[in-house]
Structure formats: structure tokens, C-alpha cells
């Protein structure tokens, strides 16, 4: 039983971390930062930032939750 709860909690934490990352990427894109600068500033690999960056550029008016859905759905379609 604890394993199921632990897994659910871990998914929630991961989702929260991803939403925070998306929000930070959105802010940096609005400032005009490049993908390389964003990755460097956030101490992340460009490969992690790239799908978020692309979705934010394509859908600039979306919320971080909208971008999260787009990134996770596209990840499932194109593993």
C-alpha cells in the first residue's frame, strides 16, 4: 500500500518540479534569452529544456499547465 502512495507522491513532486521549470523557461523566453542561456542559467541540459522551449515558443499564451500537458503528451507520442 505504501508503495502506491509513494509512487503517487513521487509523480506529484515530479509534476511540480516540471511545472516550476516550465514557468522559469517562460519567464526567460519573455526576457529574450536563448535556449543555451536558459539551460546554463537553470543548470539543466539543453536536451531537458528543448521540448519546453519549443512548446513555449509555439504557444506563448499557454499557461505552464497547458505547456506541461503538451510536453508530456508529445513525449508519450514520440518517446
pLDDT tens sequence across 18-49:
999 999 999 999 999 999 999 999 999 999 99
What range defines the domain where residue 18 resides? 2-77
pLDDT at 34: 97
Question: What's the rounded Cα separation, in Å, for the pair 55 and 21?
Answer: 13
Is residue 76 scored above 60 in pLDDT?
no
Average pLDDT, the chain: 90
- Structural domains of the chain, count: 1
> What is the rounded CA–CA span in Å between residue 65 and residue 4?
24
CA 19 to each of CA 3, 37, 40, 51: distance values in angstroms, whole numbers, following the listed order = 24, 19, 18, 13
Amino acid at each position: 500500500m505504501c508503495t502506491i502512495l509513494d509512487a503517487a507522491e513521487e509523480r506529484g513532486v515530479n509534476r511540480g518540479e516540471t511545472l516550476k521549470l516550465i514557468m522559469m523557461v517562460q519567464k526567460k523566453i519573455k526576457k529574450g534569452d536563448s535556449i543555451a542561456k536558459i539551460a546554463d542559467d537553470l543548470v539543466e541540459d539543453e536536451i531537458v529544456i528543448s521540448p519546453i522551449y519549443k512548446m513555449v515558443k509555439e504557444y506563448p499564451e499557454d499557461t505552464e499547465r497547458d505547456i506541461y500537458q503538451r510536453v508530456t503528451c508529445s513525449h508519450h507520442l514520440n518517446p
